[in-house]
């Protein structure tokens, strides 16, 4: 049974900006779902929509079900209880969002004291446990953010997200600001916690190689829609959408000799949501587009074996979806 289910989720920001358009997604306990896509594709908008953190002026359509309960039908009190205690977010750019003049111990204890009726000593004990869970000694609770490295601060953000034992964690670009070694450690840590605690984790990144390393399934977004979804390995090794193929090709993999000589870029940028191309929104950049791609609405179609793609050519055998490279 899914812990989180998005059914036809759409978000339109003020000024008629359709940032998310009809997204269906689900994630089960113990599962890691990745969401990939270039800047502006709607990834963070989905994150905010799940916890009802969007600006009031944004129009939300469809449903967000957390353990079967409609998040948009919750009272404000129920919503407050749900945030942190049932679902929490490691925000994009979180490295800068710790309070510089408060110890990290105090910052992690705050949601515990707010949500769980426990004594200060019990909260402090839990802070120590959380720090150890993310690989930091409990004594670091006394440190201020500036006394920690970037990777250590990111661990603190993960400890914060876990503070009230949520069952769903959404990590929005949790490793973008980190160097490759620390990035690998943080990703190992997150996937280890999923196994240990049976969490459902949604990991958001523009980097498919990051998602390939930790996710069970990956959904690729373009212009506010999911254009491909399937087991992480398949999305990487056998993309069924030219956009996923381009993303997979854009990041080098260790030992990939070919990449050294022919890195495959994707020309241009994704469209702004209020200025979407007709037909398949990817057609102006697609290396294998046909004339009819500009005229035909394309929606996500089931390809079997847990895979789906929104490409008219997804089922063509022997088609190099990266185009000539
Ligand atoms: N408050 C807002 N008002 C109007 N438009 C917005 C607002 N927030 C985001 N957008 C627009 O919605 C689109 C999706 O933004 P979002 O932040 O979800 O993208 P993203 O995929 O997370 O990108 P990134 O990888 O850069 O974080 C963008 O075109 C952005 O300009
Ligand atoms: S539908 Fe056409 S334009 Fe869109 S991804 Fe497929 S081939 Fe490219
Ligand atoms: Mg974002």
Ligand 3 centre distance from Cα of residue 34 (Å) = 13
Q: Tokens representing 70?
A: 């409609």
DSSP for residue 94: G
Minimal-distance CA residue to ligand 1 atom 4:
13
For ligand 1, pick from 20, 41, 274 the residue to mutate: most ligand atoms within 8 Å of CB: 41
Ligand 1 centre distance from Cα of residue 223 (Å) = 10
User: Are the CB atoms for 215 and 208 separated by under 8 Å?
Assistant: no
Residue 206, ligand 1, Cβ within 6 A: yes
pLDDT on residue 258: 47
User: Are the CB atoms for 293 and 61 separated by under 8 Å?
Assistant: no
**Architecture per CATH, 4-86+166-309:** 3-Layer(aba) Sandwich (3.40)
Write down the residue that tokens 């800068």 correspond to: 96
Ligand 3 centre distance from Cα of residue 173 (Å) = 7
Q: Tokens representing 289?
A: 């587009």
Residue 43, ligand 1, Cβ within 6 A: yes
pLDDT on residue 263: 43
Contacts of 76 (CB under 8 A, 6+ apart): none
Residue 39, ligand 1, Cβ within 6 A: yes
Q: Name residues contacting ligand 2 (CB within 6 A).
A: 241-242, 280, 282-283, 286, 288-290, 293, 298, 311-313
Minimal-distance CA residue to ligand 2 atom 5:
311
Going from N- to C-terminal start, the domains of the chain cover: 4-86+166-309, 101-164
pLDDT on residue 63: 98
Q: How many residues does the chain have?
A: 325
pLDDT on residue 65: 97
Per-residue pLDDT reduced to its tens digit, 3-20: 999 999 999 999 999 999
For ligand 1, pick from 19, 91, 275 the residue to mutate: most ligand atoms within 8 Å of CB: 19
pLDDT on residue 94: 63
Ligand 2 centre distance from Cα of residue 294 (Å) = 9
User: Are the CB atoms for 176 and 97 separated by under 8 Å?
Assistant: no
Ligand 1 centre distance from Cα of residue 71 (Å) = 21
pLDDT over 90, % of the chain: 66
The pLDDT mean for the chain works out to: 89
Low-confidence residues of the chain, pLDDT below 70? 94-95, 177, 251-265, 323-325
Starting at the edge strand that comes first in sequence, how are the strands of the sheet with 69-70 ordered? 17-27, 4-13, 59-66, 69-70
Ligand 1 centre distance from Cα of residue 5 (Å) = 21
Q: CA dist 259 to 55, 220, 250, 255, 256, Å?
A: 42, 22, 9, 9, 6
Per-residue pLDDT reduced to its tens digit, 147-166: 998 888 888 998 999 999 89
pLDDT on residue 210: 81
Minimal-distance CA residue to ligand 2 atom 3:
283
């Amino acid at each position: 049974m899914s812990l989180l289910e998005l059914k036809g989720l759409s978000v339109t920001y003020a000024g008629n900006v359709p940032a998310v358009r009809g997204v269906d997604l689900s994630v089960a306990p113990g599962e890691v779902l990745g969401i990939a896509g270039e800047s502006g594709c709607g990834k963070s908008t989905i994150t905010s929509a799940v916890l009802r953190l969007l600006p009031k002026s944004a129009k939300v359509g469809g449903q967000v079900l957390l353990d079967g309960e409609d998040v948009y039908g919750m009272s404000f009190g129920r919503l407050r209880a749900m945030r942190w205690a049932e679902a929490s977010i490691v925000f994009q750019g979180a490295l800068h969002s710790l309070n510089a003049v408060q110890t990290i111990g105090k910052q992690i204890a705050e949601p515990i004291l707010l949500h769980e009726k426990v004594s200060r000593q019990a909260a402090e004990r839990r802070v120590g446990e959380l720090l150890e869970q993310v690989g930091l000694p409990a004594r670091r609770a006394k440190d201020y953010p500036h006394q920690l490295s970037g990777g250590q601060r990111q661990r603190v953000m993960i400890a914060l997200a876990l503070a009230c034992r949520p069952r769903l964690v959404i990590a929005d670009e949790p490793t973008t600001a980190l160097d490759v070694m620390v990035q690998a450690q943080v990703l190992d840590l997150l996937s280890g916690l999923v196994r240990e605690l049976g969490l459902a984790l949604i990991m958001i990144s523009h980097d498919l190689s990051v998602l390939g390393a930790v996710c069970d399934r990956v959904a690729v977004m373009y212009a506010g829609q999911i254009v491909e979804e399937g087991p992480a390995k398949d999305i990487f090794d056998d993309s069924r959408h030219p956009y996923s193929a381009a993303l997979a090709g854009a990041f080098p993999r260790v030992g990939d000799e070919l990449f050294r000589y022919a890195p495959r870029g994707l020309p241009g940028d994704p469209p702004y949501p209020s200025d979407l191309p007709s037909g398949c929104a990817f057609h102006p950049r697609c290396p294998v587009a046909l004339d009819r791609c500009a005229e035909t609405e394309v929606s996500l179609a089931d390809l079997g074996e847990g895979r789906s793609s929104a490409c008219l050519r997804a089922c063509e055998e022997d088609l190099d979806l990266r185009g000539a490279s």
